[in-house]
């Protein structure tokens, strides 16, 4: 039952199935031929016994010939590249066919043709389509020689018989060659499928690794943000409360001032936490994409400090998801830094769509960055790496030119093809 179940699960176009088909055909032909011989020999059909001389060798020699023929078939190799010892089974099988036929001389040479047709098909699997034609020619030459030695019908008669059977031989060879080619292509398709599955598994593992690294990077950024902002406030509150505790008995009014200062710092810390939480909203939470997500991000900063203006320049078109995410993070970083460090009263954010590229500019009118220092922190280097991965560039620094109010500007530029972007 286990073997049967395994065979039923096997693909239809498989080399094992074709070999099984040849085996069934051979053993069925062998059994039917031998039983027919036995029935005629035992005078079950006297009219056949009178017509054919079937008592030349008797039952025992014919039985032995069929046993040898079955053994020779079992020893035949089927795969190309068989050893020389295994290839000796090929002439052994052909000799067994001729011997069995000669032992049954009374059947007018009819019986051996199906066995030779099976041999022609087997030659395709063993030698390949081209060499099997030479193999078939050799078998036909041996058949002609056998007929000339055992039958006095004449050369022309035997040649005509072989010519008549040649189309059937070619059909068997062509059919087996088609079977072999279909099996080969199925094997190649199976190998390609396995390679694709392996590549898919590797890509899935790689995607998981990238996701883990992204999560780790985001956690590190969040930790840095909370350490730099919330940690500062908590430290200041602790210092104020410790001072208030020391002044509580001797200078209660000053202690109350320290407590009020701690309360003010706690309010500022709470506002900082709220701004950080708003800045962490991803695109999927906003349920928008493109400039809609950027507008939603700008609105989330309303009422928390400086006034923010957002503008879209150029003909807007759909962007690749990777570019959208980088622009979103760049605007998020620019607004967060401006709110925390600039002391500005106004922030301007502009997205400009240009042929083959998109630019985002976030500028404030604040105090800028003192000479010799930077505002890179953790977020800007990470953004610069993301932009470079997409073939873009990120620039950040103090506003230069004729603007007297100074300030800080963050500008990111990404290459995007209009046609390809719209197709994504």
User: Which pLDDT belongs to residue 350?
Assistant: 92
Query: For residues 328 and 314, what is the distance between their CA atoms, to the nearest angstrom?
Result: 18
Domain holding 261, by residue range, is 229-280
Asked, for residue 205, whether it belongs to a domain, the answer is: no
Q: What does each C-alpha distance from 18 to 73, 87, 115, 175, 187 come to in angstroms?
A: 15, 20, 16, 11, 14
Query: For residues 16 and 264, what is the distance between their CA atoms, to the nearest angstrom?
Result: 83
Share the mean pLDDT of the chain.
76
pTM for the model stands at: 0.43
User: Which pLDDT belongs to residue 267?
Assistant: 78
| Residue 132 pLDDT exceeds 90 | no
CATH number assigned to the domain comprising residue 377? 3.30.565.10
Q: pLDDT tens across 40-66, in order?
A: 666 654 554 454 444 456 778 888 888
Asked, for residue 127, whether it belongs to a domain, the answer is: yes
Q: Which residue has the tokens 């990120």?
A: 394
Same domain flag for 265 and 292 = no
User: Which pLDDT belongs to residue 295?
Assistant: 84
User: Which pLDDT belongs to residue 88?
Assistant: 87
User: Which pLDDT belongs to residue 63?
Assistant: 86
Asked, for residue 214, whether it belongs to a domain, the answer is: no
Domain boundary among 259, 280, 301: 280
Between 227-236, 324-333, 406-415, the lowest mean confidence (pLDDT) is in 227-236
Same domain flag for 380 and 236 = no
Same domain flag for 135 and 152 = yes
Three-state DSSP class for residue 10: coil
| Residue 36 pLDDT exceeds 90 | no
Between 82-91, 214-223, 233-242, the lowest mean confidence (pLDDT) is in 214-223
Q: pLDDT tens across 363-422, in order?
A: 888 877 766 555 555 567 878 888 888 889 988 888 765 444 568 888 999 998 643 333
Closest CA to 371 of 401, 400, 404: 400
Q: What does each C-alpha distance from 52 to 19, 57, 99 come to in angstroms?
A: 35, 13, 18
Asked, for residue 398, whether it belongs to a domain, the answer is: yes
Q: What is the mean pLDDT of residues 188-217?
A: 81
**Which phi and psi angles does 312 have, rounded to 5°?**
-115, 125
Asked, for residue 206, whether it belongs to a domain, the answer is: no
Asked, for residue 209, whether it belongs to a domain, the answer is: no
Same domain flag for 286 and 398 = yes
**408-415 β-sheet, strand order:** 307-313, 346-354, 357-364, 408-415, 393-398
First to last CA, the chain: 53
User: Which pLDDT belongs to residue 361?
Assistant: 92
Same domain flag for 31 and 145 = yes
User: Which pLDDT belongs to residue 418?
Assistant: 46
**CA dihedral defined by 77, 81, 84, 89, rounded to 10 degrees?**
20
Residue with the bigger pLDDT between 228 and 203: it is: 203
**Rg (alpha carbons) of the chain, rounded to whole number:** 45
| Residue 303 pLDDT exceeds 70 | no
Asked, for residue 218, whether it belongs to a domain, the answer is: no
User: Which pLDDT belongs to residue 413?
Assistant: 92
Q: pLDDT tens across 63-122, in order?
A: 888 899 899 888 888 877 777 788 888 888 888 888 887 777 654 454 567 888 888 888
Query: For residues 18 and 94, what is the distance between their CA atoms, to the nearest angstrom?
Result: 21
Q: How many domains in the chain?
A: 3
Asked, for residue 40, whether it belongs to a domain, the answer is: yes
């Amino acid at each position: 039952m286990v073997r049967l179940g395994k065979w039923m699960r096997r693909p239809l176009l498989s080399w094992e199935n074709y070999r099984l088909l040849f085996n069934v055909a051979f053993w069925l032909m062998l059994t039917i031929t031998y039983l027919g011989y036995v029935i005629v020999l035992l005078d079950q059909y006297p009219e056949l016994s009178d017509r054919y001389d079937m008592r030349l060798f008797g039952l025992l020699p014919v039985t032995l010939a069929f046993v040898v023929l079955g053994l020779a078939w079992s020893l035949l190799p089927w795969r190309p590249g068989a050893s020389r010892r295994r290839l000796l089974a090929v002439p052994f099988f052909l000799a067994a066919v001729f011997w069995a036929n000669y032992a049954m001389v009374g059947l007018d040479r009819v019986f051996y043709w199906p066995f030779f047709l099976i041999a022609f098909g087997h030659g395709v699997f063993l030698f390949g389509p081209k060499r099997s034609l030479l193999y078939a020619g050799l078998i036909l030459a041996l058949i002609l020689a056998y007929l000339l030695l055992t039958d006095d019908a004449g050369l022309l008669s035997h040649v005509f018989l072989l010519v008549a059977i040649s189309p059937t031989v070619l059909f068997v060879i062509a059919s087996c060659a088609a079977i072999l080619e279909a099996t080969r292509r199925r094997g190649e398709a199976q190998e390609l499928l396995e390679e694709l599955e392996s590549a898919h598994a590797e890509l899935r593992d790689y995607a998981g690794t990238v996701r883990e690294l992204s999560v780790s990077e985001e956690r590190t950024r969040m930790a840095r943000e909370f350490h730099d902002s919330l940690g500062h406030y908590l430290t200041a509150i602790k210092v104020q409360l410790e001072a208030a505790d020391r002044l509580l008995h001797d200078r209660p009014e000053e202690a109350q001032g320290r407590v009020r200062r701690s309360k003010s710092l706690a309010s500022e810390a709470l506002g900082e936490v709220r701004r950080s939480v708003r800045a962490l909203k991803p695109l999927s939470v906003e349920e928008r994409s493109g400039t809609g997500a950027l507008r939603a991000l700008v609105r989330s900063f309303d009422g928390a400090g400086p006034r923010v203006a957002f503008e879209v320049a150029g003909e807007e078109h759909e962007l690749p998801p990777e570019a959208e995410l980088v622009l979103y993070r760049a605007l998020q970083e620019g607004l967060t830094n401006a709110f925390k460090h600039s002391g500005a009263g106004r922030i301007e954010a502009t997205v400009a769509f240009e042929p083959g590229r998109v630019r985002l500019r976030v500028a404030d009118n604040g105090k800028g960055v003192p000479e010799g220092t930077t505002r890179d922190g953790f977020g800007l280097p990470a953004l610069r790496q993301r932009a470079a991965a997409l073939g873009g560039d990120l620039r950040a620094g103090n506003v230069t030119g004729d603007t007297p109010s100074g300030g800080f500007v963050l500008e990111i530029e990404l290459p995007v093809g209009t046609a390809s972007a719209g197709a994504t």
